[in-house]
Structure 1
Amino acid sequence: MTEQPQLSFFARLWLAFLCFWRVLVSRPFAQAVHPLSAAYDAGTLGAGTSAPALPKPEPKPEPKKPEPVALPPEREHASALALMSMLQREGRLIDFLQENVASFSDAEVGAAARIIHEGCRKVVRQYLTLQPVLPDSEGARVAVPVGFDAQRIRLTGNVAGQPPYSGSLKHHGWVTTEVKFPSVSPAMDPRVLAPAEVELA
């Protein structure tokens, strides 16, 4: 018969501490230990007696991660709606786009475009910092290197073979280097791009 290893005082102290709390919090563990305690008190549990197997603690279920709540479209795109609201407030852009200008004369369209341009330009300069993608002047000869960024440079015309390419710059492009949009208050409805105006007599 294999002799049981002798436990040191500190090992027994630690075991007593663990068993104390397991008995308090686990009913199956307490029910499994109780017969051992009774047998030891009765003198029927000796050093060579095999103790009955204790039940394995049931695995605790992992807490479910809360699923992300999908924002309504008006909240998900609140910044874009806020920009449209500012373009309407400063440049009447939405009013202009909703108009049927086919019946307007070129002079009328030109006069309206001047006002819209001034207001919309003010908004863009206030909240966005823009720089050209390529610094060259339009019409200049530019080189397109190997591994160029297709999001920043779009090739047109007779595109054949592999880069590097050389071509004429038709538009220098724009890239935003800084965005300074104000935060949209949750109390505001971002769908309202411009309130109705009622003049009281």
Structure 2
Amino acid sequence: MTDQPASLSFFARFWLAWLCFWRCLVSREFAQAVLPTSKAYDAGQLAQLPSGGPAPTPLPKQEEVRPTPRAPEPPPALPPEREHASALSLLGMLQREGRFVDFLQENVSAFSDAEVGAAARIVHEGCRKVAQTYLTLERVLPQSEGDSVPVPVGFDAQRIRLTGNVAGQPPYNGILRHHGWMTTAVKLPTVSPAIDPRVLAPAEVELS
């Protein structure tokens, strides 16, 4: 194995380049001998030539590092009064039209049946108006109370609640005690952000 030549100085490389330059100009054979070496050097393949040195090791290709996209932040949680604004709005309408909250807050045990009945008539009329305006209500079962009704296998426990002597597995047959109610449409108005839905009814102050 031959020893590797010592590193050439600048002047030695300059003199060698000068000689090669003129010999390439005056000698076709010398130029043809140098041409393959020049092409191999340009292609980075000097290691394949018998007289060439080792080819430079190509640098590893660096992969493009892309920033990891940040997950969108969840919207801030609404305060309870805003989350339930529609329900509070409905309760406020029941109070405005039927004095519903006033009726619930009263201790009716201190009043006679006639007084309670008179107040209930006012509450009923106003609350019925609100329900008919903003809600569409339908019966869960179309039969009348007291009719015999079948309860099939796989019945919806949210729509039908069994009472009495419940034993075994469906199908059942029973007596309808209440037909139930379900809402098929809701038309509640949008609550403005400027309105505090917690205020079901404002305080009334009469000025003299």
State the TM-score bracket (shorter-chain normalisation).
Answer: 0.7 to 0.9
Is the counterpart of residue 174 in structure 1 residue 171 in structure 2?
Answer: no
Stretch deviating more after TM superposition (67-76 or 162-171) = 67-76
Rounded to whole Å, the distance in 2 between the matches of 1:44 and 1:195 is: 92
Deviations 1:78-124 (A, max 9, x none): 01000000000000000111111111111111100000000000000
Rounded to whole Å, the distance in 1 between the matches of 2:103 and 2:165 is: 37
Residue 43 of structure 2 is matched in structure 1 by 46
Is the counterpart of residue 161 in structure 1 residue 158 in structure 2?
Answer: no
* Structure 1 runs of 4+ with >4 Å offset: none
Report the TM-score, using the length of structure 2 for normalisation.
0.73
Residue 119 of structure 2 is matched in structure 1 by 112
Q: 1:140 aligns with which of 134, 147, 161?
A: 147
Residue 27 of structure 1 is matched in structure 2 by none
| Residue 200 of structure 1, CA deviation | 1.3
Residue 98 of structure 1 is matched in structure 2 by 105
Rounded to whole Å, the distance in 1 between the matches of 2:127 and 2:120 is: 10
Q: How many residues align?
A: 159
| Residue 45 of structure 1, CA deviation | 5.0
Q: 1:85 aligns with which of 87, 92, 98?
A: 92
Report the TM-score, using the length of structure 1 for normalisation.
0.75
| Residue 58 of structure 1, CA deviation | 2.1
| Residue 61 of structure 1, CA deviation | 1.8
Residue 74 of structure 2 is matched in structure 1 by 67
Rounded to whole Å, the distance in 2 between the matches of 1:102 and 1:134 is: 35
Rounded to whole Å, the distance in 1 between the matches of 2:43 and 2:175 is: 97
| Residue 154 of structure 1, CA deviation | 0.3
Matched position secondary structure for 1:109: helix
Look at both structures and tell me which one has the larger radius of gyration over its CA atoms: 2
Residue 6 of structure 1 is matched in structure 2 by none
Q: Percent identity?
A: 67
Rounded to whole Å, the distance in 2 between the matches of 1:160 and 1:140 is: 21
Residue 201 of structure 2 aligns to which amino acid in structure 1? Answer: A
RMSD: 1.5
Residue 55 of structure 1 aligns to which amino acid in structure 2? Answer: Q
Residue 142 of structure 1 aligns to which amino acid in structure 2? Answer: V
Rounded to whole Å, the distance in 1 between the matches of 2:42 and 2:204 is: 93
Matched position secondary structure for 2:136: strand
Matched position secondary structure for 1:113: helix
| Residue 44 of structure 1, CA deviation | 6.1
Rounded to whole Å, the distance in 1 between the matches of 2:43 and 2:123 is: 98
| Residue 132 of structure 1, CA deviation | 0.5
